[in-house]
Chain A
Amino acid sequence: MREAVATSAKVRMGLPATLFYRFRKSVKALRTFAAIAGPGIIVMVADNDAGGITTYTTTGAKYGDHLLWFLILLGPVAYFVQEMTVRLGAVTKRGHAEAIFHGFGAFWGWFSLLDLVLIDWLTMITEFIGMTAAMSIFGVPPWVTVIACWLLMGSMVLSGSYWTWEKIALVLCVGNLIYIPAAFMVHPSASEILHNGLVPHWPPGGLTNELFFLLMANIGTTIAPWMLFFQQSSVVDKGLKEQDIKFGKLDTAIGSVLTVVVATFLIVVSARLLSGRPVESAAQAALEIMPVNKYVGTIIAIGLFDAGLLGAICISLASSWAFGEIFGWAHSLNQNIREAPWFYAYYFLDLVLAGAVVLIPKAPLVLITLFVQVIATTLLPAALVFLILLLNDKKTMGRYRNNTWQNVANISIVLVIIILSTLYGITTLFPEVLQ
Chain B
Amino acid sequence: MSLVRAAFSSLVAHVRKINRRYAKPQIEMTWLVKACLVVLRLYLLVLVCLMIYKFVKTLKG
State the A residues within 8 Å of B (CB): 101-106, 108-109, 111, 326-327, 374, 377-378, 381-382, 385, 389-390, 393-396, 422, 425-426, 429-430
Contacting residue for B37 out of A104, A106, A394, CB 8 A: A104
Tell me, in angstroms, the Cα distance from A430 to B50 when the chains sit together. 9
Contact residues on B (Cβ < 8 Å of other chain), bracket:
20 to 34
Given contacts A378-B44, A430-B54, whether A103 and B14 have CB atoms under 8 Å apart is no
A425 touches B44 (CB 8 A): no
Distance between A374 CB and nearest chain B CB, rounded to angstroms = 7
Q: In the bound complex, do residue A374 and residue B18 qualify as a contact, i.e. CB atoms below 8 Å apart?
A: no
When distances are taken between beta carbons in the complex, the residues of chain B under 8 Å from A106 are 18-19, 22-23
Residues of chain B lying within 8 A (CB to CB) of residue A393: 27-28
Q: How far is the CA of A385 from the CA of B40 in the complex (A)?
A: 8
The reply on B12 being an interface residue by CB < 8 A is no
The contact of A103 among B27, B43, B44, B51, by CB within 8 Å, is B27
B47 contacts the other chain (CB 8 A)? yes
The answer to whether A105 touches B44 (Cβ under 8 A) is: no
**Chain A, residue nearest B20 (CB):** A106
A-B contact count (CB 8 A): 56
Q: Which residues of B1-30 have CB atoms within 8 Å of chain A's CB atoms?
A: 14, 18-19, 22-28
Whether A374 contacts B51 by the Cβ 8 Å rule is yes
Chain A nearest CB, measured from B41 CB (Å): 9
Output the least CB separation between B16 and chain A (Å): 10
CB pair A109–B22 under 8 Å, yes or no, is yes
B-chain residues with CB within 8 Å of residue A108 when the two chains form the complex: 37
Complex alpha-carbon distance, A111 and B40, angstroms: 12
Name 21 interchain pairs, CB-CB below 8 A, sorted by A: A101-B18, A101-B22, A102-B22, A103-B25, A103-B26, A104-B25, A104-B37, A105-B25, A106-B22, A108-B37, A326-B18, A374-B51, A377-B47, A381-B43, A389-B33, A393-B27, A422-B43, A425-B47, A426-B50, A430-B50, A430-B54
Q: Is the CB of A389 within 8 A of B36?
A: yes
In the assembly, what is the distance between CA of A422 and CA of B25, in Å?
Answer: 27
A109 to B24, CA, bound (A): 12
Q: Which residues on A sit within 8 Å (CB–CB) of B50? A: 426, 429-430
- Establish whether residues A385 and B36, one from each chain, have CB atoms under 8 Å apart when the complex forms: yes
Q: How far is the CB of B47 from chain A (nearest CB, A)?
A: 5
Tell me which residues across on chain A come within 8 A of B26, comparing CB atoms.
Answer: 102-103, 395-396
Closest B residue to A426 by beta carbon equals B50
CB-based contact B27/A389 at 8 Å: yes
A414 to chain B, nearest CB (A): 11
> Which chain B residues border A327 with CB–CB below 8 Å?
14, 18
In the assembled complex, the CB of B49 is this many whole angstroms from the nearest CB of chain A, namely 11
Q: Whole-angstrom distance from the CB of A119 to the nearest CB of chain B?
A: 13
Q: A371's closest neighbor in chain B, by CB?
A: B51
Minimal beta-carbon separation of A106 from chain B (angstroms)? 5
Name the A residues within 8 Å of B18 (CB-CB): 101, 106, 326-327
The reply to whether A429 and B27 contact each other, CB–CB distance below 8 Å, is no
A102, A389, A394, A429: the one within 8 Å of B54 (CB): A429
Q: How far is the CA of A102 from the CA of B24 in the complex (A)?
A: 8
Question: Which chain A residue lies CB-closest to B16?
Answer: A106
Contact A105 B40 (CB under 8 A): no
Instruction: Give 8 new A-B contacts, CB below 8 A, not counting A108-B37, A327-B14, A381-B40.
Output: A101-B22, A102-B22, A109-B22, A111-B44, A378-B47, A382-B40, A394-B28, A429-B51
